[in-house]
Amino acid sequence: MIAASYLIHYSAYPTKTEIALGLLKEFKVAHSLIKIKGVLADALYGEKAFMDEAAKESGGSQVISQLRKNQNIEYRGRIRSVESYFNSINKGIDQIIRVRGGKEIKVTVSSTRLKVSSHSKKRFVIALKYDGENDYRYLVATDLTWRTQDIIQAYTLRWLIEVFFEDWKLYEGWGREAKQLDEEGSSRGLILSLLFDHCLLLHPEQIARIESKLPAYTVGSLQRKSQMDVLLEFITSLLEFPDPGDKLKELGELIKDVFQLMPSGKHMIGRDLGRLGPTASLKYCSTG
């Protein structure tokens, strides 16, 4: 009974690592023609179980994550923290890398193949510091045959997920305008946002960019452009009526019916809040 209860609990409340591996498996099945070259994850997923399983599920691709500065590595039979090793034994050198295939920046880098204690195996470990930063971050990779520069440049692609979040929350408004809460509301908002993104791929100006092999326009700029196109189309159609003024008044009344202003629940005008004060006949009840 205890084992059965544990299994039910385990499947009902998967960890983030389990969810990520499940999504990777689903992607592999749904998009079997796509060859995965790398799996990028932040420090939360820099553990042995995730990295080994992700490499296996993705067909042996490179898996890159981060180590905490106090995680132990083994060097010449001695165990020390990864921060201590790179600060005292393997100091960094300056070099230029390309961020997401575009802008070139200067970084300070040091790398080596070391046994990571918690992983019980050798990993490719990199100390990386961007120009202007004081502290290093420590990347860890599964495939020891990659070059240091390729691992660093591949990891810069992880920021693309932040671009998606920015589009999803800021430009498209799904984060602040969610009408349905909890897990189901999150998934439906995500599905709607992806459908919206696909619709914008059919925008004439977006199609022209893609066919010309140029970078696609951002979701936010296309959205604003579409809003202005609708406004101009409305003004143009309004001017075509014999009496635009009367038509505008008619539309104004319709707007009042559809977009009604609602009283705020945080303003207390007109509310009966009670007396909110002491009662003279009860003052002796408080002593004794």
- Contact assessment for residue 279 and residue 286, using Cβ atoms and an 8 Å cutoff: no
Residues 148 and 176 placed together within one structural domain of the fold: no
With respect to residue 94, please indicate whether it lies within any of the assigned structural domains.
yes
CATH of the domain at 6: 3.90.350.10
Residues 93 and 194 placed together within one structural domain of the fold: no
Domain boundaries, position 55: 2-158
The per-residue pLDDT string of the chain (288 residues; one tens digit each, 9 = 90 and over) reads 344 444 444 567 788 888 889 989 999 898 989 888 899 998 889 999 999 999 998 888 999 999 999 999 998 888 999 999 888 877 778 888 888 777 888 989 999 998 999 999 999 999 999 888 888 999 999 999 999 889 998 888 888 777 766 666 665 555 555 555 666 666 676 777 777 777 888 888 888 888 898 888 877 788 788 888 888 888 888 888 888 888 888 888 888 887 777 777 777 677 777 777 777 777 776 555
Residues 97 and 42 placed together within one structural domain of the fold: yes
With respect to residue 212, please indicate whether it lies within any of the assigned structural domains.
yes
With respect to residue 255, please indicate whether it lies within any of the assigned structural domains.
no
Q: Characterize the bridge pairing of strands 78-81 and 93-98.
A: unpaired
With respect to residue 194, please indicate whether it lies within any of the assigned structural domains.
yes
Classify 51 as helix, strand or coil. helix
Q: How many domains are there within the chain?
A: 2
Residues 215 and 117 placed together within one structural domain of the fold: no
With respect to residue 253, please indicate whether it lies within any of the assigned structural domains.
no
Q: Among residues 141, 161, 136, 127, which one has the least CA distance to residue 64? A: 141
Residues 186 and 142 placed together within one structural domain of the fold: no
- Contact assessment for residue 21 and residue 56, using Cβ atoms and an 8 Å cutoff: no
Residues 146 and 86 placed together within one structural domain of the fold: yes
Q: Which two tokens stand for residue 36?
A: 């995965």
With respect to residue 213, please indicate whether it lies within any of the assigned structural domains.
yes
Residues 53 and 93 placed together within one structural domain of the fold: yes
With respect to residue 283, please indicate whether it lies within any of the assigned structural domains.
no
With respect to residue 260, please indicate whether it lies within any of the assigned structural domains.
no
